[in-house]
Structure 1
Amino acid sequence: MSPEDTEVIELAQELIRRPSRAGIDDYEPVLAVLQDWLDARDLPCRRLYDDAGRPIALLVEVAGGRPGPWWALDACVDTAPYGDEDAWSFRPDCGDVVDGWLRGRGAADSKLAAAMFCRIAAELRAGADDLHGGLAVLLDADEHTGGFGGARAYLADADAVRPAGAMIGYPGPDEVVVGGRGLWRATIAVRAESGHSGSRRAALGAVSRAARLVRLLEEAELPGAEGGFPLPPKLTVTSCHGGEGFSVIPGLCELGVDIRTTPIFDARAAENLVRTAAAELDRRLPGPAPTAITQVACWPAYRLAEDEQPAAALLEAAAGEGLTVRPKTAGPSNIGNLLAAQGIPATAGFGVRYEGLHGVDERACLADLPTIHTVYMQALLRLLAP
């Protein structure tokens, strides 16, 4: 490892040793480590805040000396929870290196990438006068909540230059994610006449009505993959809450539904499917009030062409380092969907090898770091110094 690689690893270790589980830990300690590192190298950065005034991200900005578009690197510095800590063979916040692997929650997703992106910003700043446009590095502490507050704050910041595209530092050296299914999520309130479960009155409770709706939803016909998009839509009922005890016929049951959308089967089609199923339920088994549907979230599906930036630059740079990397359209959604809704093309999912992401014994392979670093640097130079 070069001294520069060692510096990246040491920063990543310090980040892992500051627990930053989304929705659990205070983000201040992990952001402070990053800010101290950046300040020590005179790298311009500033904090971004959520609506409650809490720090939610750090934004590093390196302006080039020549006109041109800006590009963004994004890596989250919050993490998934630890899960069952007794199942880990090492402490989730140990941040140590064993047999060439960096260990601990966030090693793979994505504190090593955050540290590497900080180094890249420092390297590009040294030759910034020759760059066209500029580089923004977003170190996001609100990714694993699904709220993507750091990215939202960045896009809403009137002082930040809107990027022409972004590269998101999720791990894995074999694929570059160039697209993803979108999503449409809603809660569904199913009602019935409440009463005593021992009553002679034949009453179908809200849970039973909701069960019929689940069947209607899961029996609904969805299209296959079509229109050049490689994945089909998918519907999943993800939650069911209702009932107050054994002796009460429930009057309310709430379902959660997650529909992964495609360019052909979009949010409007997803909503129509759910509303059609709810109307069919109300027709077959009328309740005291119509079944109510409340949209919770909606992101578009997206897919970049292989010759579209920044995907083309990243794939070309990977090939230049002898890597066989395939473009992939992901089933799960990511920040790329949020950016796509803003008209900003994004890649994701290119980084080091890893194990245990969101599970036990998370770790990242440090032998891959020099090559992954070189690929990102070469891709950025293609974009910033054409």
Structure 2
Amino acid sequence: MTLTDPAQTLAALIRCPSVTPEDGGALATLGEMLGELGFSNDPVTFSDEGTPDVGNLYSRLGTEGPHLMFAGHTDVVPAGDREAWTRDPFSADIVDGFMYGRGAVDMKGGIACFVSALARLIERRGAPQGSVSVLITGDEEGPSINGTEKLLAHAAAKGERWDAAVVGEPTNPNEMGDMIKIGRRGSLSGVLTVEGVQGHVAYPHLADNPLSGLVTLMDGLLDPPLDAGNDRFPPTNLEFTSVDTGNPAANVIPARTTATFNIRFNDIWTAESLAAELRARLARAAKDTRLRAGHEPVRYRVEFAPRSSPSFLTRDDALIETLSAAVREATGRTPALSTTGGTSDARFIKDYCPVVEFGLVGQTMHMVDERVALSDLESLTRIYETFLERWFDHRSAAGIR
């Protein structure tokens, strides 16, 4: 295998069936690649009650500062209906300029390009004047309990400190160079339960339909909008994702119903302030009996998930501009600086150092026939190589260690 060729490095990773929480040999394969480049590897497995054990890998090249981290994950989502794939999802077949395979885009492709970028840089001018670490989990697509968060703490406890980080998630909506993620919205989930009185639909005055109360509460949460967003973040949005009543009978008013929701919020809110706002809205809406004439206020309870994700924004101008310049040089495009999309492991990394995200085009991630253009692999490798060279040169010229 030639490590300077991202197609070869990616093929080796795709052929490891690392569906969360199984590793499938992916971390060992990556560790061998990094070992060839001079990295010291620290594989570690984490455990937690009620969750599967998960393997992770922390590798470092160099002993001095400045110190740049590349982070990502080798675990992938299940292939789904394998008969629906035109190519085996773990074959890394190349057809018409595209490599097929689960993880090709999300995100073994990003890891492969970073390895090849380092290999090219080392071959051309030697190792960077500083340190590069690679922090890889096998638990990003799963519960995210035995992965990046614990691996960061493990490395920090051993004395590791970082100046900046790049996460190789697929950030580009359509073409290479479209977008760099410089932050992420937060995420808060909850379950709303409404109590009613069961009865016959022909005698509604003897019952209290919890669905009518739920509709009132849902309206109270959705209107007015939580905010209008700001110059860095889109508006906060609340989405109801399920309504469950468990009532198979069409002629029975149910006794209870529940609704699950998730909110992606910007930096106007914290999880705590947002939960307080939602509770206040529910308390006001519960008094509205227009859909339930003759009844007392809606009886309800709301429970928020114990694990939430905060919003964050990276303000390291040198990191952002260095990566943006590398993107412009390789693609001719000026990337948008965005905070859109879901959560990523950058939410853990931001507590240790400034972090940005940039990777491949994400159009086929998690889909049947996930695939990546070989030309995109080459573009991303050039971007990473240029970024590495300029980031370390800038720090060296400024005397920052």
Coarse TM-score class (shorter-chain normalised): 0.7 to 0.9
Answer whether contact 2:117 2:382 (CA < 8 A) is retained: no
User: Structure 1: how far apart are the matches of 2:46 and 2:246?
Assistant: 36
What is the alpha-carbon distance in structure 2 between the residues aligned to residue 341 and residue 314 of structure 1?
17
Unaligned runs of 5+ in 2: 289-294, 397-401
Q: Which amino acid aligns with 2:234?
A: L
CA-CA distance at 1:383 after TM superposition: 3.0
Whichever residue aligns with residue 44 of structure 2, its letter is: L
Sequence identity (%)? 23
- Partners of 2:202 and 2:13 in 1: CA distance: 58
Q: Does 1:15 align with 2:18?
A: no
Measure how far apart 1:106 and its partner are. 0.8
Which position in structure 2 is the counterpart of 1:182?
186
Task: For residue 71 of structure 2, give the secondary structure of its aligned residue in structure 1.
Answer: strand
SS at match of 1:144: coil
1:384 aligns with 2:392: yes
Q: For 1:167 and 1:332, locate their aligned partners in 2 and report how far apart those are by CA, in whole Å.
A: 17
Q: Report the secondary structure of 2:213's partner residue.
A: helix
Q: How far off its partner does 1:112 sit? A: 1.8
Within 5 Å, give how 1:25-174 maps onto structure 2: 26-39=22-35, 43-52=39-48, 54-64=53-63, 66=64, 68-120=65-117, 131-132=129-130, 134-145=131-142, 147=144, 149-157=146-154, 158-159=157-158, 161-171=160-170, 172=172, 173-174=176-177
Kept in 2: contact 1:225–1:233 (CA 8 A): yes
Question: CA distance change for structure 1 residues 318 and 179 in 2, over 3 Å: closer, same or farther?
Answer: same
2:290 equivalent to 1:292: no
- Structure 1 unpaired stretches of 5+: none
Q: Does 1:235 align with 2:233?
A: no
What's the secondary structure of 1:143's corresponding residue? coil
Change (3 A) 1:33 1:222: same
Q: How many residues align?
A: 376
How do 1:283-362 and structure 2 match up within 5 A?
283-284=287-288, 286=296, 290-305=300-315, 308-321=317-330, 323-335=332-344, 337-339=346-348, 342=351, 344-351=353-360, 353=361, 355-362=363-370
The residue type equivalent to 2:25 in the other structure is P
**Deviation at 1:78?**
1.5
Aligned partners of 2:328 and 2:335 also within 8 Å: no
Residue 147 of structure 2 aligns to a residue whose secondary structure is helix
Which stretch of structure 1 is more off in the superposition, 38-47 or 274-283? 38-47
Cα contact 2:54–2:146 (8 A) shared by 1: no
The structure-2 alpha-carbon separation of the partners of 1:130 and 1:71, relative to structure 1 and needing over 3 Å to count, comes to: closer
* C-alpha separation in 1, matches of 2:209 and 2:17: 45
Contact 2:192 2:300 in 1 (8 A): no
Does the CA contact (< 8 Å) of 1:182 and 1:302 recur in 2?
Answer: yes
CA drift at 1:311: 1.6
- SS where residue 162 of structure 2 aligns? coil
RMSD: 3.2
The answer to whether structure 1 residue 371 and structure 2 residue 392 are counterparts is no
Q: Give CA-to-partner distance per residue, 1:51-100, whole Å, 9 cap, x none.
A: 33823321111124x4x342211122112333444433222222111222
Residue in structure 1 matching 2:195, options 191, 207, 219: 191
- Deviation per CA, 1:5-24: give whole Å up to 9, x if none: 43x3223213222222335x
Shift of 1:219: 2.4
CA shift for structure 1 position 232:
1.4
